[in-house]
Structure 1
Amino acid sequence: MTNIKVHGTAPADLEGDLTSLRGDCARMVPHWSVPERAAARPVSPSLIHGVSVPSTSARLLDAMSDYGD
């Protein structure tokens, strides 16, 4: 009987644990590119326009102590 080894691109254990996932991610690192980082600059409030919030969402946020108080 011949033992044929197959090297697939998909992970062998689809229901794997965190260690398996980290290994899959480590193998993908060479395929990812890092975008050039642009410095974030503050935006003047006068330039922010056209934002509308539905009244139901505004009432929901107003009722939350983190946002409404």
Structure 2
Amino acid sequence: MTKLKAPVPAPVDQDGDLAALRGDCARMAPHWHAPDRIAPLPVSPSLIHGVKVPNKSARLLDAMSDYGD
């Protein structure tokens, strides 16, 4: 009986690169189905309530610069 040798698979690069990632995404794209966009219904103003923030948190947020100013 002859023992056949199976080919040794090439090592797999677990990190990959951007080209490999894009290729993987392109192969998977046909399997992904996005739902139709559903328009949100308007909310009654009586259901909208204010946001309550503790004073310490409000002062902290007020002291932060917006967008890295």
3-state secondary structure, aligned to 2:59: helix
What are structure 1's unaligned runs of at least 5 residues?
7-11
TM alignment of 1:11-50, pairs within 5 A: 12-39=12-39, 46-49=46-49
Which structure's CA Rg is the greater one?
2
Cα RMSD, aligned residues only = 3.3
Give the partner amino acid of 2:14: L
Tell me by how many angstroms 1:61 deviates.
1.4
Structure 2, unaligned runs of 5 or more: none
Write out per-residue CA displacement over residues 22-59 of structure 1, whole angstroms, 9 at most, x where no aligned residue: 11111110111111113457767654226443444322
CA distance in 1, matches of 2:60, 2:45: 24
1:9 aligns with none
Name the count of aligned residue pairs. 62
The 3 A distance-change label for structure 1 pair 42 and 23 is: same
Superposition TM-score, scaled by structure 2 size? 0.54
Q: Which residue of 2 aligns with 1:53?
A: 53
**Cα offset for 1:64?**
1.4
* Greater relative contact order structure (CA < 8 Å, 6+ sep): 1
